[in-house]
Amino acid sequence: MDVQLDCKHLKCPMPIVEMAKAVKGMKGGEMLRVESTDPAFEMDVKAWAEMTGHELVSFEPGEVKVARIRVA
Q: Reply yes or no on whether 7 is catalytic.
A: no
Give the chain as a DSSP string. --EEEEETTPPTTHHHHHHHHHHHT--TT-EEEEEE--TTHHHHHHHHHHHHT-EEEEEE-SSSEEEEEE--
Choosing from 3, 8, 10, 12, which is the catalytic residue?
A: 12
Q: What amino acid positions are annotated as catalytic residues?
A: 12
